Amino acid sequence: MRDTTCGDCWRIENLTFAQRLDPALVRRGQRHLCEEHRAKREELAA
Ligand SMILES: [Zn+2]
């Protein structure tokens, strides 16, 4: 179940505001994203 959880959604639900800004935690959450967040990442990366 955990492997299919969107990394961004997981961070929003489980981390404090300060932790969400931590690059190490942000990177760890990138392995899987829901369609909404994946589209958002691609927008930012473009
Ligand atoms: Zn998401």
Residues 11-39 pLDDT 10s? 888 888 888 777 776 665 557 889 999 99
Query: 5 vs 2, 17, 19, CA distance in Å?
Result: 5, 19, 18
Task: Look at the chain and report how many structural domains it folds into.
Answer: 1
Between the CA of 24 and the centroid of ligand 1 the distance, in Å, is 18
Give residue 1's pLDDT band: very low, low, confident or very high (50, 70, 90): very low
Rounded distance from Cα 16 to ligand 1 centre (Å)? 16
Assigned token pair, 46: 């473009």
Distance 33 CA to ligand 1 centre (A): 5
Domain that holds residue 31: 2-45
What is the model's pLDDT at position 7? 84
Cα–ligand 1 centroid distance for 12 (angstroms): 9
